[in-house]
Amino acid sequence: MAAGQGSPAAVATPIELRDVRFSYGREEVLHGIDLTVGPGEICSIVGDNGAAISTIARLAVGEIVPAAGTVRLFGENLAHFGRWNLVGYVPQLPPETVSRFPATALELVSAFQGAGARGRRFSRTERRKRSLDTLGQVGMDSYAARMVRELSGGQLQRVRLACALVNGPELLVLDEPTNGLDRESREALCSLVATAHAERGLAVLLVTHDHRVLGSLGGSILLVEDGRIARREA
């Protein structure tokens, strides 16, 4: 059964952007973006450097707010949305930024755990088990006690994926998740995302400049040029 199946959130549209515009200073970089990611759908956004595609991911998770237009998560206006356990997010971060975090892989994943259903708080034992189980799902349970700074780039991205999945989200947003990874690590990460989508029924929004990852996930592809959606491919 897909995660959250039968709940109101499961039938609501995970992401809706309508006529969204965004500016950095006086320069408008997004011009009237319309985007919908339905339940269980995979949508990949691709563009060249400078196309502001990462800005779309940041808008979709409320990290920044649009200058104009509307952003909704699971049918709710972003300004009023509070069910962040439904959203898993892997932001674009330089590996050295994450690797400086003074924690083990297990501690890092545990730090991302929120409240459970109806605000129930998990005990330390429950949090540890949930974190270990999620690390196991991305093939990193044997590295649970390893310090984050000791992990390779590919291993670190797997742990960051576990951080995004540990709360059982219904939407996964990934911003340039394969940056800096070699071919083997890139293919392994894409396989894990595809498995999470298939097993959990996740909606997935992938933002990438790397055209090599597009065919591995399927779903729809949106090409962004000059701050506009130039082409949509089913």
CA dist 138 and 135 (Å) reads 5
Above pLDDT 90, what percent of the chain?
A: 71
Residue 189's closest CA among 221, 222, 234, 153?
Answer: 153
CA atoms within 13 A on the CB side of 119: 1
pLDDT of 6 above 50: no
> CA angle, 225 as apex, 20 and 12 as ends, to 5°?
40
Nearest to 42 by CA among 224, 213, 226, 167: 213
- CA 138 and chain centroid, separation: 15
Q: What is the DSSP letter of 122?
A: P
Average pLDDT (143-171) is 94
End-to-end CA distance of the chain: 25
Q: Two tokens at 52?
A: 């502001």
Whether 30 and 222 have beta carbons less than 8 Å apart is answered as no
Q: Which two tokens stand for residue 130?
A: 């949930």
Q: What is the mean pLDDT of residues 22-40?
A: 95
What does the pLDDT read at residue 5?
44
Contacts of residue 42, Cβ cutoff 8 Å, sequence gap at least 6:
197, 203, 204, 206, 217, 218, 219, 220
Q: What is the pLDDT of residue 101?
A: 79
Token digits of residue 73: 């998560």
The answer, yes or no, to whether residue 1 has pLDDT greater than 70, is no
Q: Mean per-residue pLDDT for 54-67?
A: 95
**pLDDT above 70: residue 89:** yes
pLDDT score for 211: 84
pLDDT at 176 over 60: yes
Pair type for strands 203-208 and 171-175: parallel
Each residue's pLDDT tens digit, 12-22: 999 999 999 99
pLDDT tens string 192-217: 999 999 999 999 999 999 888 887 88
Q: How far apart are CA 58 and CA 55, in angstroms?
A: 5
Choose the weakest-confidence range: 4-8, 45-49, 158-162. Answer: 4-8
CATH (residue range 1-77+169-234): 3.40.50.300
Domains of the chain: which residue ranges? Answer: 1-77+169-234, 95-168
Q: What are 57's strand-pairing partners?
A: none
